[in-house]
Structure 1
Amino acid sequence: MMPARPLSLITGASSGIGAAFARQLAALGHDLVLTARRVDRLQALATELHERHATQATVLPHDLAALAAPQVLCDELERRGLQVDWLINNAGYGVPGTFVANDWTTHAHFLQVLLAAPTELAWRLLPGMRQRGHGRVINVASLAGHVPGPAGHTLYAASKAYLIKWSQSLALENHTAGVNVCALCPGFTWSEFHDVTGTRDKMNRLPGFMWLSAEEVVRQGIAAVERGDAVYIPGRVNRTIKTLVQLLPDRLALWLSARESKRYRNT
């Protein structure tokens, strides 16, 4: 049974989709654990949500690129007696440029944040959810995980495809224990993501109908995990793109990906 005030752990909570999850879950009566690297933003968000919703928001700053970060974070939760009911694996970013243009440390940190950290956090927190008979896990993947991988941001689509397949397996393994798992797969979303990767000017050339707000992505994502959807793509345009790509021959889909990616990828 879900407690009166569920506790949600949100990674990458300092901006964008992560901050939108914090605001919407707080409005639904959740207490929060907020983690990211930017302490000032986390503290400002925690203060805002406490004043607006009387939310108890615990700030635990961590850099998930550190190998020990997931265990250290979970150890801190245990010491404070905090039991996580909702896990939002949202932390992520893109590495612009081709695969060999970046050093291995850059790629290793990316794989730790996008793959290893969410996997370990789920492994550490799922047993408690199962024991209590209720839990929710949202792994923020991407429409990129459903379409051919483009040149540039080489590991991004691959990492998101992993989150999708992994979430499907977790959903099947845990639904009878009262735990729903969902891979949320947004397309283009208004956030700081493209500012960080240096592609904002290119992204601004895309038509407005291809974009969703972080708030809308999160609203649909919360509804999807509550329904028990193992994978959910917010936005009719994004779902259409995924369907069309599946219908195309692989060679044609890859050619289209190569052509279109030149418009918004730094290679």
Structure 2
Amino acid sequence: MTTKVMKRDSRPTALITGGSKGIGLELANQFGQHGHDLVLVARSDRDLKRAATQLHTEYGCRVDVFSVDLTAIDALAELYRQVTDNGIQVDVLVNNAGTGDVGPFAVSDINRQLDMLQLNIVSLTALTRLFLPGMIERGSGRILNIASVVAYFAGGSNWASYVASKHYVLALTRGLAKELVGTGVNVTALCPGPTATAFVNQAGAGVMRIYRWLPKVTPSEVARAGYRAAMAGQTTVVPGLLNKLFAFLGELPPRSIAQWVFGFLSRSPLVTTTDTRKAS
């Protein structure tokens, strides 16, 4: 479903998946206040309409919303078709939608695992592939992929698939950034650490040492860092000084030591597996 809030004008447009709440909504605020029109994509039509009304009222920007389940493979091409059929030129693509799965892999729900990989990896890759050629043709564009500070580690116990999926996002972003030099298109990976969003409680991640011990940044702080980095053409950005140190240590050799430290921080007294839509 698509809802158009106001007539289009010549301002640049940012498409944000998972843009109705959390980090996604804060990113929408950043782009809206800096002169962009918006396209918000999420599953809940009610949340989308509420976000669109707030953004339009506050910034006067045009907001189009598309209620889409991005875990459905056919939905990706259909979303692209609807956006282009509505005459929307996407100048900035923000791949923010994602899901987390916390708990031992062997007892995890296989359907949640597959949905997570579909959303965190396949939908992000497909939307990038669909919207990138137009940006290259126009000689300008921005792609902002939401990864995570955990992407800097070779692997993580108790959320192995999630860490692997974010590692993919970071690797894809770095590869594309090199590939697109000279095209006018920049690709950025935003890699937040623990963030004060609903994910912490909903996914049961709050019992992990990494969430209990490391300071949390706000979604608005994460969004500001992501917006600035994308507009500046940075390839990666990690909000927060301690998170920057954490990411640096994750890539130091020997990586087995970093992986052990990460495993220690990922331990919890509970054995749970919970799924939630999240922004990082």
TM-score range, shorter chain: over 0.9
Aligned match of 1:61: 67
Distance in 1, Cα, partners of 2:181 & 2:30: 24
Q: CA deviation at 1:201?
A: 5.3
Q: CA deviation at 1:105?
A: 2.2
* Farther off after superposition, 103-112 or 66-75: 103-112
Residues 117-156 of structure 1, C-alpha deviation per residue, up to 9 Å, x if partnerless?
0100010001111111110000000000002422222211
Q: 2:175 aligns with which of 169, 174, 178?
A: 169
Aligned match of 1:260: 265
- The amino acid of 1:85's aligned partner reads D
Paired positions, count: 264
Aligned match of 2:239: 234
Rate the CA distance shift 1:32–1:96 in 2: closer, same or farther, 3 A.
Answer: same
Distance in 2, Cα, partners of 1:5 & 1:64: 26
Q: 1:190 aligned to 2:196?
A: yes
Residues 13-70 of structure 1, C-alpha deviation per residue, up to 9 Å, x if partnerless?
1211100011111001111110111211110110011111111111101111101111
Unpaired segments ≥5 residues, structure 2 = 1-8, 273-280
Q: 1:86 aligns with which of 66, 69, 92?
A: 92
Q: 1:105 aligned to 2:111?
A: yes
Q: 1:18 aligned to 2:24?
A: yes
Q: 1:243 aligns with which of 242, 248, 265?
A: 248
Q: 1:221 aligned to 2:226?
A: yes
Q: CA deviation at 1:200?
A: 3.4
Distance in 1, Cα, partners of 2:85 & 2:144: 24
Q: CA deviation at 1:196?
A: 2.4
Distance in 1, Cα, partners of 2:222 & 2:29: 13
- The amino acid of 2:258's aligned partner reads A
- The amino acid of 1:221's aligned partner reads G
Aligned match of 2:216: 211
**Larger RCO of the pair (alpha carbons < 8 Å, separation 6+):** 2
Distance in 2, Cα, partners of 1:112 & 1:222: 25
Distance in 2, Cα, partners of 1:167 & 1:265: 34
- The amino acid of 1:7's aligned partner reads T
Q: 2:38 aligns with which of 25, 29, 32?
A: 32
Mapping 1:125-204, distance limit 5 Å:
125-200=131-206
- The amino acid of 2:42's aligned partner reads A
- The amino acid of 1:65's aligned partner reads T
Other structure's SS at 2:90 match: coil
Distance in 2, Cα, partners of 1:87 & 1:174: 15
CA RMSD of aligned residues (A): 2.0
Rate the CA distance shift 1:215–1:203 in 2: closer, same or farther, 3 A.
Answer: farther
Identity across matched positions, percent: 36
Contact 1:194 1:203 in 2 (8 A): no
Q: CA deviation at 1:4?
A: 4.8
* Farther off after superposition, 165-174 or 180-189: 165-174
- The amino acid of 1:252's aligned partner reads I
Other structure's SS at 2:157 match: coil
Distance in 2, Cα, partners of 1:206 & 1:146: 20
Distance in 2, Cα, partners of 1:214 & 1:261: 22
Unpaired segments ≥5 residues, structure 1 = none
Contact 1:170 1:181 in 2 (8 A): yes
Other structure's SS at 2:246 match: helix
Distance in 1, Cα, partners of 2:211 & 2:200: 13
